[in-house]
Amino acid sequence: DRCSLKRVTGVDADPEAISKSIALIKRAAPSYEFRTTFTDGLLTIEDMKKIRNELDDDSHWVIQPFRPVGCLDPDFCSRPPADPDRLKKEFPDIRVRG
């Protein structure tokens, strides 16, 4: 939803435009990957499930656990890293890197 997108991206993104972009990529790109970096406090497991539904359980979806290294926003450097084992447990059929 628009509120969640704004919270995560920092901009007032149009969910419909994002859905159209996802569909276009799936149709036109021979090889693609959708990647989501999971950060506790910014995303929830429920948010991740919504993303998964938006992608129609796409096998090209990869979850990256957040690591506080080289952050563009200095406030993120003090955040704890995300637990990859927790993500693997919540999403056993999705690739989790890290």
Where do the domains of the chain lie? 2-96
In the chain the first and final C-alpha atoms are separated, in Å, by 28
User: Residues near 75 by Cβ (< 8 Å), separated by ≥ 6?
Assistant: none
Instruction: Tell me the per-residue pLDDT of 32-79, one tens digit each, with 9 for 90 and over.
Output: 999 999 999 889 999 999 889 888 867 899 999 999 999 998 989 999
Tokens of 45: 């497991």
pTM, entire model: 0.84
Q: Please state whether 57 falls in left (phi above 0), alpha (psi between -120 and 50) or beta.
A: left
pLDDT confidence band for 13 (50 / 70 / 90): confident
Q: What is d(CA 29, CA 6) in angstroms, rounded to the nearest whole number?
A: 27
